[in-house]
Chain A
Amino acid sequence: MIVVALLLVAACATTAVLVRDPVHQALVLAVLGTVLAVLFTVLQAPDVALSQLAVGSALTPLLMLLAVRKVKRPRRHKGDER
């Protein structure tokens, strides 16, 4: 069980590094957060798992998506003008 969870975490983390698009990265990060929460639960640390679930898989990706949205906007306007 622990080994499976560890392997999943490693796979997700590698994917997060390899994916280049920030939006996809945010989504992969959310999945990574959930998998990490599973790992912590398996390791009998429900408190940490709850924090990880709340912050890692909901809050951080949400903030990242909002930031990406803000950063990308002017570029799109420039594209419209052209």
Chain B
Amino acid sequence: MNRRTRLWLVAVGGAGLAALLVAACLELPDFGGDRHPYGDRAVHESLARHTANTIASVNFDQRALDTLGEISILFAAVVGCVVLLRQTRDEHRARPRPADVARPVRRYALAVLPVALLTGLYVIAHGQLSPGGGFQGGVAAATALHLLYLGADYRTLERIRPVGLYEVGDALAVSAYLVTGLACLIGAGSFLANTLLPYGTFNTLSSGGTVPLLNAAVGMEVACAVVVLLARFLDQAVEIVEENGT
């Protein structure tokens, strides 16, 4: 295929895509309206299954398969990162020196750390009730752990963060999601169908059937994934060189 044909192909494809997009945009509901065909149906479905947060219902009930795809992508990305950023034969591992941290920074980081960690866990736990959920809370909790790197130094962070355990946790969480889906397949007849568990009382932690379970699995997966990712990047940036500090 020569250059001219390729250009033509791109032009035709692009024009087709543009035409379809414009046609689709013309049919969209008006901006800022309070009625939306998809929104109304999603809210109705989530209320029928006692899930207070409609977004959580869409993520972990109505579109649970999409979420499975998303966490698989994250898992694959983490595996790829771990493989790429491993220690190669011509690299050596230098122990970073203990770093001096300015006292206000240390005090602030150590004061904020528990608050941020708790906020992350809270957001995970209340994913089916209030805005947030496994993904947001997981990232927040995992990032909060790394305040220790700012407040203390890299060695302290390493001591409380066995990367191996987090890698196992990552894999376990993805499996937990899959196992929940399979349990639904066996118990309810279709993969990830939210008809197996009782829906519980509306607006309590245990409401929503399988939504809290899947939400917790995603929370654990994301938290572990972010910890492992940051650990690999920090390894490369800090440990394979002499200096320390931020």
Contacts and interface: CB of A to CB of B under 8 A. Distances in A.
| Residue from the set A51, A54, A59, A70 with the largest chain B CB neighbour count within 10 Å | A54
A70 B53 CA distance: 41
Contacts of A47: 53, 55, 131-133, 136
B132 A63 contact: no
A6 interface: no
B14 to A, nearest CB: 23
Interface string B110-149: 0000000000000100000001110110011001001000
B136 A50 contact: yes
Given A50-B136, A67-B233, A59 B226 contact: yes
Contacts of A8: none
B143 A58 contact: yes
Contact of A66 (B55, B131, B132, B237): B237
Interface string B232-246: 011011000100000
B173 to A, nearest CB: 17
B136 A63 contact: no
B230 interface: yes
Nearest to B130: A46
A20 interface: no
Contacts of B133: 47
Nearest to B146: A62
B131 A50 contact: yes
A50 B123 contact: yes
A50 B230 CA distance: 20
A69 interface: yes
B229 interface: yes
Nearest to A46: B131
A66 B131 CA distance: 30
A63 B241 CA distance: 17
Contacts of A46: 131-132
Interface of B: 53, 55, 123, 131-133, 135-136, 139-140, 143, 146, 226, 229-230, 233-234, 236-237, 241
10 contacts: A46-B132, A47-B53, A47-B133, A47-B136, A50-B131, A51-B139, A55-B139, A59-B139, A66-B233, A69-B237
Please give me the 3 A-B residue pairs with the lowest Cβ-Cβ distance, nearest first. Answer: A46-B131, A54-B139, A50-B136
Given A47-B55, A47-B133, A49-B131, 15 more contacts: A46-B131, A46-B132, A47-B53, A50-B131, A50-B132, A50-B136, A51-B136, A53-B136, A54-B136, A55-B139, A59-B143, A62-B143, A62-B146, A63-B230, A70-B236
